[in-house]
């Protein structure tokens, strides 16, 4: 049996200061000029998408090898750029393009295998490895952060992403706190466990207040119409024009069809640790998944391999809920646990409101709902009459039918109180 005290966060590519974000800042540019053809497209991406030049410029890229990538930060930077170029290539035209050329497919398949990630624009490519700041700045403050690569070049896109970066940075200290709490439960130290659960609640409330800042600089219409199309994946995308997914052409007549979920914060390891730690059981599968394989679980495949391994280890040692349930007379302890669970469910409430403003409302595009009071519950059904373009807005980038799914994750969380 692994003990929480034996866990060395650095073995899981977790930084004591930055959590699931890299220890230093993400690398801004690949140092070898060999990769200049990639960097030159990445830096001009918003313009190249707007002018419609992106596909032909990608088609003209040389097929570069990965042999000049040396350090892990270099592999991550390469993954991030190619993730952006992949989605810009697929979605950056009138119709989606379902063949990815060898100049992207070949290196991207190698790089993603090296990192233990799928070959597309995941949360790691778009968020964890895609920000910068000035030296010594506080990265828990979104105003101090900026993006390395962007689809639209808008402040809205930047804010959308840096809110998540700031949340990851603020959450860094909760990781060792959770391990301490697990150790406290194992040692039967009830006062310490109670205090740690209240600290956990305070941090989650702080994360929730950062999440609420989404509205400050990200306008729903810009997010929905300009950015969101580029976050889409290639799975369950028939209505959008990708019935078979995307063919990753590796040249010499070889290649394969692939289907991947789009980028999503469901791929944030940090947020998944909260459910594991508190013992929240997610029954939600999302309506597109085969029974038994939950979407939340599936999203772990979209996390860097060491982070995925951390979640597995955390699940193996997680003991808090069991401990609380086996201590029925410890009222104060139980209250501290319930406060922690409710703070997570309140984080999910804030998120559902965001989804309503940033997806449901722009997708409705002025179409009134029959009963405003129940709009979140009924929006999906009532909007079936809308055209395909808007109807795809009703699904998460991961292909889940979003409102029922998100309500379920919120309700599953609440149901964990005892
Ligand atoms: C404009 C901003 C956002 C929108 C429109 C949005 C939308 C969505 C949608 C539609 C899903 C459904 C499933 C999927 O597509 O993967 C989802 C899932 C999720 N989102 Fe967001 N999201 C936003 C920002 C954020 C932020 C900043 C966070 C956290 C830092 C977050 C955390 C999550 C989590 C954890 C899930 C998985 C479901 C769950 O655990 O309850 N989202 N989001
Ligand atoms: N699931 C969201 C997208 C999303 O949350 C997301 C996608 C890519 C990178 C980060 C994301 N979340 C917030 O920063 C959507 O359906 O629009």
Q: pLDDT tens digit string along 79-116?
A: 999 999 999 999 999 999 999 999 999 999 999 999 99
Q: What ligand has the least distance to the C-alpha of 284?
A: 1
Report the mean per-residue pLDDT for the chain: 90
102-116, 234-248, 289-303, 372-386 — which one is most confidently predicted on average? Answer: 102-116
Digit-coded pLDDT (tens) for 17-32: 999 999 999 999 999 9
pLDDT interval class at 2 (50, 70, 90): confident
The residues facing 237 across adjacent strands are 242
The mean pLDDT of 288-314, rounded to a whole number, is: 83
Q: Is 232 in the pocket of ligand 1 (CB under 6 A)?
A: no
* pLDDT for residue 393 is more than 90: no
- Residue among 124, 265, 299 whose CB has most ligand 2 atoms within 8 A, to mutate: 265
Q: What contacts 112, CB < 8 A, 6 or more positions away? A: 79, 118, 119, 120
Q: Which two tokens stand for residue 396?
A: 């998460």
Q: What is the pLDDT of residue 373?
A: 35
Q: What is the pLDDT of residue 385?
A: 39
Angle at 225 between CA 100 and CA 363, to 5 degrees: 115
Q: Is 228 in the pocket of ligand 2 (CB under 6 A)?
A: yes
Q: What contacts 253, CB < 8 A, 6 or more positions away? A: none
Q: How far is the CA of 324 from the centre of ligand 1 (A)?
A: 29
The interface predicted TM-score of the complex, written ipTM, equals 0.97
Closest by Cα among 224, 234, 244, 219 to 398: 234
pTM reported for the whole predicted model: 0.93
The mean pLDDT of 61-78, rounded to a whole number, is: 98
pLDDT interval class at 49 (50, 70, 90): very high
Count the residues in the chain: 418
Q: Which long-range contacts (CB under 8 A, 24 or more apart) does 411-414 make?
A: 412/280, 412/281, 412/282, 412/283, 412/284, 413/275, 413/280, 413/341, 413/344, 413/345, 413/348, 414/341, 414/342, 414/345
Q: Are 284 and 296 in contact (CB under 8 A)?
A: yes
**Minimum CA distance residue for ligand 2 atom 1:** 264
Q: What ligand has the least distance to the C-alpha of 227?
A: 2
As a three-state string, the secondary structure of 215-242 is HHHCCHHHHHHHHHHHHCCCCCECCCCE
Ligand 2 atom at minimum distance from 359 CA: 17
Q: How far is the CA of 265 from the centre of ligand 1 (A)?
A: 5
Distance of CA 7 to CAs 13, 158, 175, 301, 303, Å?
Answer: 12, 34, 11, 22, 19
Q: Is 268 in the pocket of ligand 2 (CB under 6 A)?
A: no
Q: What contacts 92, CB < 8 A, 6 or more positions away? A: 48, 49, 52, 54, 55, 230
* pLDDT for residue 383 is more than 50: no
**Minimum CA distance residue for ligand 1 atom 14:** 396
Q: What ligand has the least distance to the C-alpha of 272?
A: 1
250: three-class secondary structure by DSSP = strand
Consecutive H or E run containing 49:
helix 45-50
* pLDDT for residue 399 is more than 70: no
The mean pLDDT of 226-251, rounded to a whole number, is: 94
Q: How far is the CA of 287 from the centre of ligand 2 (A)?
A: 19
Q: What is the pLDDT of residue 395?
A: 59
Least confident stretch, 47-51, 181-185, 199-203, 281-285: 281-285
Q: How far is the CA of 264 from the centre of ligand 2 (A)?
A: 4
Q: How far is the CA of 195 from the centre of ligand 1 (A)?
A: 29
Q: Is 400 in the pocket of ligand 1 (CB under 6 A)?
A: yes
Closest by Cα among 116, 117, 67, 61 to 88: 61
- Residue among 232, 266, 294 whose CB has most ligand 1 atoms within 8 A, to mutate: 266
Ligand 1 atom at minimum distance from 409 CA: 41
Q: Which two tokens stand for residue 301?
A: 């495949």
Q: Is 161 in the pocket of ligand 2 (CB under 6 A)?
A: yes
* pLDDT for residue 294 is more than 90: no
Q: Are 236 and 395 in contact (CB under 8 A)?
A: yes
Q: Is 233 in the pocket of ligand 2 (CB under 6 A)?
A: no
pLDDT interval class at 284 (50, 70, 90): low
Q: How far is the CA of 406 from the centre of ligand 1 (A)?
A: 8
Sign of the alpha-carbon torsion through 270, 274, 275, 276: positive
User: From CA 30, how far away is CA 74, in angstroms rounded?
Assistant: 6
Q: Is 348 in the pocket of ligand 1 (CB under 6 A)?
A: yes
pLDDT interval class at 401 (50, 70, 90): low
Q: What ligand has the least distance to the C-alpha of 214?
A: 1
User: From CA 151, how far away is CA 240, in angstroms rounded?
Assistant: 19
Task: DSSP letter for 255, please.
Answer: E
pLDDT interval class at 392 (50, 70, 90): very low
Per-state percent for the chain, helix, strand, coil, to nearest 5: 60, 5, 35
pLDDT interval class at 236 (50, 70, 90): confident
- In terms of Cβ atoms closer than 10 Å to its own Cβ (0-12, 13-18, 19+), residue 268 is buried
User: From CA 279, how far away is CA 283, in angstroms rounded?
Assistant: 12
Q: What ligand has the least distance to the C-alpha of 400?
A: 1
**Higher model confidence: residue 292 or residue 59?**
59
């Amino acid at each position: 049996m692994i003990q929480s005290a034996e866990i060395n966060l650095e073995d899981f590519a977790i930084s004591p200061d930055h959590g699931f974000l890299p220890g230093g800042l993400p690398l801004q540019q690949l140092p070898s000029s060999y990769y200049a053809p990639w960097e030159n497209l990445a830096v001009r991406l918003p313009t190249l998408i707007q002018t419609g030049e992106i596909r032909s410029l990608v088609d003209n890229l040389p097929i570069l090898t990965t042999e000049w990538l040396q350090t892990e930060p270099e592999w991550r930077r390469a993954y991030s750029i190619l993730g952006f170029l992949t989605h810009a290539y697929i979605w950056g035209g009138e119709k989606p393009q379902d063949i990815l050329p060898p100049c992207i497919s070949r290196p991207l398949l190698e790089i993603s295998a090296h990192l233990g990630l799928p070959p597309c624009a995941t949360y790691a490519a778009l968020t964890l490895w895609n920000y910068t700041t000035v030296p010594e700045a506080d990265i828990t403050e979104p105003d101090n952060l900026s993006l390395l690569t962007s689809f639209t070049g808008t402040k809205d896109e930047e804010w959308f992403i840096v809110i998540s970066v700031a949340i990851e940075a603020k959450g860094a200290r909760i990781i060792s706190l959770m391990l301490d709490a697990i150790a406290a439960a194992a040692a039967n130290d009830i006062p310490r466990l109670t205090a740690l659960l209240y600290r956990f609640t305070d941090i989650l409330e702080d994360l929730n207040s950062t999440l609420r800042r989404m509205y400050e600089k990200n306008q729903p219409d810009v997010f929905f119409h300009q950015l969101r199309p580029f976050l889409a994946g290639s799975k369950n995308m028939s209505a959008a024009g990708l019935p078979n997914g995307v063919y990753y052409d590796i040249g010499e007549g070889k290649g394969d069809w692939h289907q991947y979920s789009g980028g999503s914060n469901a791929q944030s390891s940090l947020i998944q640790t909260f459910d594991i730690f508190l013992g929240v059981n997610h029954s939600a599968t999302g309506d597109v998944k085969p029974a038994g394989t939950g979407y939340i679980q599936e999203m772990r495949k979209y996390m860097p391999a060491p982070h995925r391994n951390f979640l597995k280890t955390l699940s193996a040692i997680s003991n808090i809920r069991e401990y609380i349930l086996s201590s029925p007379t410890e009222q104060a302890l139980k209250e501290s646990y319930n406060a922690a669970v409710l703070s997570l469910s309140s984080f999910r409430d804030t998120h559902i409101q965001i989804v309503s403003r940033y997806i449901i409302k722009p997708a409705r595009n002025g179409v009134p709902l029959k009963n405003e009071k129940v709009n979140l519950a009924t929006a999906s059904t009532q909007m079936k009459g809308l055209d395909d373009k808007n109807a795809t807005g009703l699904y998460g980038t991961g292909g889940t039918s979003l409102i029922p799914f998100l309500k379920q994750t919120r309700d599953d969380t609440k149901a964990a109180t005892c």
